[in-house]
Structure 1
């Protein structure tokens, strides 16, 4: 770990937390071999799931301002806890606060001394297919296929983050699952939704979008489509 990162970690973890005398571990204990980094590890490093979510949220949405209520809604953190953590982050100047028409708005401070180091940590996040964050997605209907790429595996060139093939879809559960996923990763998720019939059509037509997705890096969360496995094997020949 570079010296600038060590300095950042010491400052960032002890400055906001010691106000209440809480005990926390230094990040160097955890981070020597964390590439890619899991969401669970990232949350642990910051001593608070709420704080970690807010940090991810602001870093992944640069140049944008949000009110407290919007932040709480998007991160699924209570408004009381959101207000408390925003006050800490503002005190550190990680976020800057503006007032517009009587509304308090917050945005990431890109001049924050350790902005680069934080961006580096977030860039190492990887939501593996085995992660429990996908458990809600598996109950949105008769799930045949879940493939992830893009934001979930830190693949910047990915055009979509997730492909879902679901029969008998429950749209209420889908909305709830996507909201939870977006709160976990800190950014809007780009996904493609289809049923088995559309999937078979795309495979038979050698759909360019689908082929390009499969030729890039991705992970399987769930695959109950035998013909897709044969299709992928054919692409690799």
Structure 2
């Protein structure tokens, strides 16, 4: 159950919000502003916490409000934990949860084909100057890739731009000091997979989609 509780950064923030405000109710958009997370992610995690009977909801004035469920089995224990945790410790917990999410996403990319490199930029690192949100090097099955991208777009609540190229095309562009590739590699990013092979002789072929 503890894996379910601390499975994502958004969930940790929600737990902190509810356990440090045990007598308050919040509506969804109020929560998204308070914890600074995407609304789709917040809604998904609220449903997860409801299934654990940790939070409950009630409609007031045509708005759905969420609050801590006082009947939750470990309410007192978690109140003590979150009331004692200092800000820096909370950040460590959030970062650990975020790292766990990145590991899960890396595994998902590996399942869709032979992926030697995958990184998140643009939206994921709050860089409006980057055109590419997801960069992938390898050979993947297109249908599972599209399904994964669609799911990530649903979670983000927006369209995501991704670029898929082969290992050979990566080597070719790198050899030519290609501006597009250089900008991606030099931009802020979260690296999920980095298993690039040595350069090989290739015939260039790339795919950019958005």
Alignment gaps of 5+ in structure 2: 1-7, 19-27, 48-56, 65-94, 200-210
Corresponding position: 1:159 with 2:166: no
- Give the TM-score, by structure 2 length: 0.50
Q: Distance in 2 between matches of 1:89 and 1:160?
A: 41
DSSP-derived class of the 1:210 partner: helix
Structure 1 pair 39–227 and aligned structure 2 pair: CA distance change class (3 A): farther
Aligned to 1:139: 111
Corresponding position: 1:195 with 2:173: no
Alignment gaps of 5+ in structure 1: 1-36, 60-71, 79-84, 93-124, 229-237
Q: Distance in 1 between matches of 2:138 and 2:172?
A: 15
Aligned to 1:183: 154
Q: Distance in 2 between matches of 1:187 and 1:89?
A: 28
Contact 1:160/1:192, CA 8 A, preserved across alignment: yes
Shift of 1:210: 1.0
- Give the TM-score, by structure 1 length: 0.45
Aligned to 1:34: none
DSSP-derived class of the 2:129 partner: coil
Superposition map of 1:62-141 within 5 A:
91=63, 130-141=102-113
DSSP-derived class of the 2:148 partner: helix
Greater strand fraction, Structure 1 or Structure 2: 2
DSSP-derived class of the 2:102 partner: coil
Q: Distance in 2 between matches of 1:180 and 1:155?
A: 21
DSSP-derived class of the 1:164 partner: strand
Contact 2:116/2:197, CA 8 A, preserved across alignment: no
DSSP-derived class of the 1:159 partner: coil
Aligned length: 140
Q: Distance in 1 between matches of 2:61 and 2:106?
A: 29
Q: Distance in 1 between matches of 2:154 and 2:130?
A: 20
DSSP-derived class of the 1:184 partner: helix
Aligned to 1:173: 144
Q: Distance in 2 between matches of 1:39 and 1:140?
A: 26
